[in-house]
Amino acid sequence: FTGKPVDGYAANRVLGTQALCRALERARQRAEAL
């Protein structure tokens, strides 16, 4: 807790590596198939 707003906190985005993005996409596809 910082006691004040944090820049970018409310932004709807995730920062990650390309490998992480590929893994998340594979997980999404697998979950969709269930």
Task: Give how many domains the chain has, as a whole number.
Answer: 1
For the entire predicted model, the pTM comes to: 0.53
Q: Is the pLDDT of residue 1 over 70?
A: no
CA 15 from centroid of its chain's CA atoms:
7
Q: Which helix or strand (DSSP H or E) is residue 11 part of?
A: none
Task: Supply the pLDDT for residue 7.
Answer: 75
Q: Which helix or strand (DSSP H or E) is residue 21 part of?
A: helix 18-33
Q: What is the span of the domain harbouring residue 19?
A: 1-34
Which residue is associated with the tokens 């995730």?
14
Mean of all residue pLDDT scores within the chain: 84
Task: Supply the pLDDT for residue 22.
Answer: 93
Task: Supply the pLDDT for residue 29.
Answer: 96
pLDDT tens digits for range 10-26: 776 777 889 998 999 99
Task: Supply the pLDDT for residue 4.
Answer: 80
